[in-house]
């Protein structure tokens, strides 16, 4: 059953080497809807990180050698355990992460499919036979890397954590997971409970938690340790740059999925009812705290007024408030720092001439759905990822202008186009500087088997399907000479 609003999970400790391990101290994990105590979480140290890495390293040889169908069986079992406990996750996503009930239901269902799609990777082709001019048997094969550090975010603590480690496990790697300090249970310790119940061997999957005060030192250890062979990170571009730079210095693989400043382009022949509904979902789902959130809505001039009327009418119906009330589709931002940052972006824009068409009110950790117009590049919100329930609406006249507006950002995660002319949209998609383009839908799209990721400052690498195999394995060329290679007589 779904937890009651006041319930908190029983925190057993960090999960290292198959054991629940306490820390010398704890930190408070707060419910962002009302800032009440949700749980007291172990505040792990660099030494805890080292112990988790050592446990993962010790478990790696046996896990990598385990038959592929046994790894798949364990991942499928984890999916079943997850589904049996999905209500526990939904409660955590609401009361620890500040998410709407419907968002928690969606996320809980999606995570089970991430486990299952990763189990399917165990049966994928992991090599190929190459031609050889010398008649050799020549192969290119993929092998697990070893210990993979996974640093996951707070905004989608189920989906983005699962995506960060399940494919790596399927490929025979072992994991040290550090969830965000804002969702250490939903994005970390809850997963440890699931994998322990599913029967994963000790040390294969480890979770360490730490406070904001400890995160820099612990995070650096997870990246810089010689025993860590790759890093999987989802989060802000600023932190991603730091991690990628350290991975580069230590010559280790990194898959980093970062921020976005994503545009929805609405052409004059679009279905405006559908476009208004899609724009509301893309802009305000989970308070806009999604890397794919629609942050700029680019509307062709001829339909601008009609679209705005439909869009604002829908947005005005969205209720903001405590997640205990399932009718509150807009919950809090994850903490007060985030709320103040979004408020500052709104205030800066208004001070420089932007118009508030809807919303604009902020209190505690809440920001109501806000729509801004007359926004230009002099305003911070034009360039910075908002990560809040704020949409900018910008008119344009030509396709070329829309493309230029979309590309006017350091980010390049996802774009979307609304039009009745599919050929026109496909032609435009070729010129949009993003890793993903969605036609006749909004920006928030993902499936477990697709190549998810961005370009420019939105990340390096791809998650999903066979692209995750590339991310979490190393390529090895192996040849077998059958007497066809001849050497010069001098040798």
In sequence order, what DSSP letters do the residues of 308-328 get, joined into one string?
A: HHHHHHHHTT--BS-TTSTT-
Per the CB < 8 A criterion, the answer to whether 407 and 428 are in contact is no
- What does the alpha-carbon distance between residue 406 and residue 443 come to, in Å, rounded to a whole number? 13
The gap from C-alpha 425 to its chain's centroid, in whole angstroms, comes to 27
Taking the C-alpha atoms of residue 418 and residue 278, their distance in angstroms, rounded to an integer, is 9
Boundaries of CATH 3.40.309.10 in the chain? 262-439
What residue spans in the chain does CATH classification 3.40.605.10 cover?
Answer: 14-258+458-477
Given a contact cutoff of 8 angstroms between Cβ atoms, the answer to whether 268 and 402 are in contact is no
**Helix %, strand %, coil % for the chain, to 5?**
40, 25, 35
Catalytic residue numbers, as ranges: 257, 291
- CATH class of the domain defined by 262-439: alpha beta
Beta-carbon contacts of 85 under 8 Å, excluding residues fewer than 6 positions away, are 193, 194
The reported pTM is: 0.96
DSSP string, 107-169: HHHHHHHHHHHHHHHTTS--EEEE--TT--EEEEEEEE-SEEEEE--SSSTTHHHHHHHHHHH
Q: What is the DSSP string of 417-462?
A: EE-S-HHHHHHHHTT--SSEEEESS-S----TTS-B--EETTEES-
How far is it, in rounded angstroms, from Cα 129 to Cα 10? Answer: 51
Distance CA 151, CA 177 (A): 6
Burial class (CB in 10 A: 0-12, 13-18, 19+), 5: middle
List the beta bridge partners of residue 372.
356, 392
The set of long-range contacts for 425-428, using a CB threshold of 8 Å and a minimum separation of 24, is 425/267, 428/265, 428/399, 428/402, 428/403
By CB atoms closer than 10 A (0-12, 13-18, 19+), residue 243 is buried
CATH class of 14-258+458-477: alpha beta
Tell me, rounded to whole angstroms, the distance of Cα 107 from its chain centroid: 12
Task: Say what angle helices 68-84 and 159-170 make with each other, to 10 degrees.
Answer: 160
Q: CA 32, CA 40: separation in Å to the nearest integer?
A: 15
| Integer Cα distance of 446 and 426 in angstroms | 19
Which of 432, 439, 339 lies closest to 390 in space, CA to CA? 339
Encode the chain (491 residues) as per-residue pLDDT tens digits: 344 455 789 999 999 999 999 999 999 999 999 999 999 999 999 999 999 999 999 999 999 999 999 999 999 999 999 999 999 999 999 999 999 999 999 999 999 999 999 999 999 988 999 999 989 999 999 999 999 999 999 999 999 999 999 999 999 999 999 999 999 999 999 999 999 999 999 999 999 999 999 999 999 999 999 999 999 999 999 999 999 999 999 999 999 999 999 999 999 999 999 999 999 999 999 999 999 999 999 999 999 999 999 999 999 999 999 999 999 999 999 999 999 999 999 999 999 999 999 999 999 999 999 999 999 999 999 999 999 999 999 999 999 999 999 999 999 999 999 999 999 999 999 999 999 999 999 999 999 999 999 999 999 999 999 999 999 999 999 999 998 888 999 99
CB under 8 Å to 457, separation ≥6 — which residues?
Answer: 237, 241, 258, 259, 410, 411, 412
3-class SS at 329? Answer: coil
Residue 115, C-beta contacts closer than 8 angstroms, at least 6 positions apart: 75, 76, 78, 79, 82, 162, 166
């Amino acid at each position: 059953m779904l937890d009651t609003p006041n319930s908190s999970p029983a925190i057993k400790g960090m999960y290292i080497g198959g054991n629940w391990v306490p820390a010398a101290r704890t930190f408070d994990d707060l419910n962002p809807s009302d800032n009440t105590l949700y749980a007291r979480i172990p505040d792990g140290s660099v030494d805890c990180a080292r112990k988790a890495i050592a446990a993962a390293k010790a478990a790696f040889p046996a896990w990598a050698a385990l038959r592929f169908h046994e790894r798949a069986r364990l991942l499928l079992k984890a999916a079943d355990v997850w589904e049996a406990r999905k209500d526990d996750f939904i409660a955590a996503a609401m009361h620890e992460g500040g998410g709407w009930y419907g968002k928690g239901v969606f996320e809980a269902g999606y995570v089970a499919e991430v486990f299952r799609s990763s189990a399917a990777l165990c049966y994928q082709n992991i090599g190929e036979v190459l031609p050889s001019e010398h008649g050799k048997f020549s192969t290119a094969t993929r092998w697990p890397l070893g210990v993979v550090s996974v640093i996951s975010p707070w905004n989608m603590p189920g989906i983005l954590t699962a995506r960060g480690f399940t494919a790596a496990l399927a490929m025979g790697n072992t994991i040290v997971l550090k969830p965000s300090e804002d969702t250490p249970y939903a994005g970390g310790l809850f997963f440890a409970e699931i994998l322990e119940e599913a029967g994963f061997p000790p040390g294969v999957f480890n979770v360490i938690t730490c406070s904001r005060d400890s995160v820099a030192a612990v995070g650096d250890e997870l990246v810089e340790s010689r025993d860590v062979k790759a890093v999987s990170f989802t989060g802000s571009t600023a932190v991603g740059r730091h991690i990628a730079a350290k991975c580069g210095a230590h010559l280790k693989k990194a898959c980093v999925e970062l921020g976005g400043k994503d545009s929805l382009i609405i052409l004059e022949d679009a279905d405006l009812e559908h476009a208004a509904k899609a724009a509301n979902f893309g802009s305000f789902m989970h308070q806009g705290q999604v890397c794919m959130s629609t942050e700029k809505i680019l509307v062709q001039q001829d339909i601008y007024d009609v679209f705005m009327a439909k869009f604002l009418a829908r947005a005005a119906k969205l209720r903001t408030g405590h997640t205990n009330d399932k009718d509150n589709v807009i919950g809090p931002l994850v903490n007060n720092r985030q709320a103040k940052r979004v408020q500052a972006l709104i205030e800066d824009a208004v001070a420089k001439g932007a118009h508030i068409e809807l919303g604009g009110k902020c209190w505690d950790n809440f920001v109501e759905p806000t729509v801004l117009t007359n926004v230009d590049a002099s305003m911070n919100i034009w360039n910075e990822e908002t990560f809040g329930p704020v949409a900018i609406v910008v008119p344009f006249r030509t396709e070329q202008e829309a493309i230029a507006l979309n590309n006017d950002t350091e980010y390049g995660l996802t774009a979307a186009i609304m039009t009745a002319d599919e050929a026109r949209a496909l032609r435009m998609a070729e010129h949009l500087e993003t890793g993903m383009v969605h036609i006749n839908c909004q920006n928030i799209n993902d499936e477990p088997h697709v190549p998810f990721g961005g370009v420019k400052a939105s990340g390096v690498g791809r998650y999903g399907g066979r692209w995750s195999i590339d991310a979490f394995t190393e390529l090895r060329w192996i040849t077998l000479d059958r007497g066809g290679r001849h050497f010069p007589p001098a040798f």
